[in-house]
Amino acid sequence: MSKKILEVKNLETSFYTHLGEVQAVRNISFDLHQGEILGIVGESGSGKSVTSLSVMNLIEDPGEIKGGSIRFSPNVDDNFIDITKMTREQISQIRGNDISMIFQDPMTAMNPVFKIQNQMVEVIQRHTDLNKEDAIRRAKDLLGQVGIPDPEGQITDYPFQFSGGMRQRAMIATAISCNPRLLIADEPTTALDVTIQAQILELLKKLQNKIDMSIILITHDLGVIAEAATHVVVMYGGQIMEKGTVRDIFNNPMHPYTRGLHKSIPTATKEKKRLIPIEGSPPDLLDPPTGCPFNPRCPHAMTICTEESPKMYTVSDTQSSKCWLMDEKAPKVKGYKKPKGAK
């Protein structure tokens, strides 16, 4: 197993709005190793973006990381630092340098009033000692790497002169400009056309190989996960429902929510079958249901599900699932087999 580079433990992030506390992320833990592509999947509002922003320590007023730790190892010699405890200045040294992030909507994620060149050079110069010419050269080179056809001419364009896909490429170029160890991509393809989606995913995979970085790939689309991820975290209502390798999640989903997600997406093999959306709507995080957040929508909910939050049951070495059905006292439900070593 390769080196661990990120360890998120018991992370809790809330927003204090005038309506009350929105518990966007509730006590989640996961690890990420060198070279992995970790997919975080879940319906919209399940706390994926808040999780990734917490990792960047980018949560802003009225939000706050309430508890837990986010330990990150910026270099090879395993010196872990806790991102939640860093000062503004320290964290800004890390951002864009060791951890980079790209966002969902490339139309709004670039500053409309500065040229692409300006925005890229600024980042390169922030984290390297390159002079302006060298930085420009590097920027052009990066644009070429991400597949911009004419870096020389297009680098002096403004973002609005780029198409959506082009802009996302430029965003990626900026993000990888300092060879980060970790790239967080928050729904990088959601706003793009289907054909472009595939190209961007391809590009990410290629770059990941080339500069040996890890990626956290956030999406609400299991298809994207299947295509690109090596590991998966399934989120619902601000909590992790299930985690495992791609193989685990696709071949042996243990959580009713994960199964629900499977049923609700079209796949080539299931073409003839009717799509079954998960009934009901995601929980109100201002006042989340007691017990398991999924219980109001769960087809197999039990009394305990409405009262107590389930533990994370270990399914296998690589997979664990946060569901009472895994408990030995739970009744047998068709299609679910309880793990042997469940605690």
Ligand X SMILES: Nc1ncnc2c1ncn2[C@@H]1O[C@H](COP(=O)(O)OP(=O)(O)O)[C@@H](O)[C@H]1O
Is the distance from CB of 52 to CB of 103 less than 8 angstroms? Answer: no
Considering the complex, state which of residue 107 and residue 226 has its C-beta at the smaller distance from another protein: 107
Write phi, then psi, for 90 (nearest 5 degrees).
-60, -45
Judged by CB under 8 A, the chain residues 285 through 324 that form the site for another protein are 286, 289, 295-298, 300-307, 324
Give the C-alpha separation, 207 to 302, whole Å: 46
Judged by CB under 8 A, the chain residues 45 through 104 that form the site for another protein are 56, 58, 61, 88-89, 92-97, 100-101, 103
Of these, 13, 23, 46, 49, which contacts Mg ion (CB under 5 A)?
A: 49
Cα 220 from chain centroid (whole Å) = 10
Considering the complex, state which of residue 31 and residue 43 has its C-beta at the smaller distance from Mg ion: 43
Q: Answer with the entry of ligand X, another protein, Mg ion, none that 280 interacts with (C-beta below 5 to 8 A by kind).
A: another protein
Bridge-partner residues for 334, per DSSP? Answer: none
DSSP symbol at 136? H
Closest CA to 77 of 34, 118, 38: 34
CB-based closest residue to Mg ion:
49
Is residue 16 involved in binding another protein (CB under 8 A)? no
Considering the complex, state which of residue 216 and residue 232 has its C-beta at the smaller distance from another protein: 216
Give the C-alpha separation, 216 to 243, whole Å: 14
DSSP symbol at 70? E
Bridge-partner residues for 217, per DSSP? Answer: 39, 185
Which residues of the shown chain bind another protein in the complex (CB under 8 A)? 17-19, 22, 56, 58, 61, 88-89, 92-97, 100-101, 103, 105, 108-114, 122-123, 126-127, 158, 160-161, 171, 174-175, 280-281, 284, 286, 289, 295-298, 300-307, 324, 327, 329-331, 333
